[in-house]
Amino acid sequence: MRPLVLTGAMIVATGTCAFAQGGYWVVGNRATAKCEIVTSNPVVDQFGGNIWFEAGPYRSLDDAKLARSTIGQCPAVEEPPAETPDGKDKSD
């Protein structure tokens, strides 16, 4: 019984660590002078040492986009207008 409980605890701990690695991060990239949204935990070597900040993880892409819009160091990003099913823009 004891090995079974220990095995279960190890599985839960491993699953928790794996879940913590998922999500979206907002990364400030000096090389491109942009804030990028990435799906893996940013590491300095991943971007060649060009990260000036990172924020996250966020649960969804929409959460990451909202966070990016509130970070002062990030330049404004224009989202393309959404289209309606009949092909007309919502602004019409």
Residue 15, C-beta contacts closer than 8 angstroms, at least 6 positions apart: none
| Cα(41)–Cα(27) distance, integer angstroms | 10
Residue 83 lies in a domain: no
| Cα(31)–Cα(54) distance, integer angstroms | 14
Q: Which pLDDT value is given to residue 52?
A: 85
For residues 87 and 43, the model is more confident at 43
Residue 36, C-beta contacts closer than 8 angstroms, at least 6 positions apart: 26, 27, 29
Residue 58 lies in a domain: yes
pLDDT at 18 over 50: no
Q: Which pLDDT value is given to residue 11?
A: 63
Q: Tell whether omega for the bond before 3 is within 30 degrees of 0, i.e. cis.
A: no
Residue 67 lies in a domain: yes
pLDDT at 66 over 90: yes
Q: How many domains does the chain have?
A: 1
Q: Which pLDDT value is given to residue 89?
A: 56
Tell me the backbone φ, ψ of residue 33, rounded to 5 degrees.
55, 35
Residue 30 lies in a domain: yes
- Whether pTM exceeds 0.75: no
For residues 37 and 17, the model is more confident at 37
Range of the domain at 30: 22-73
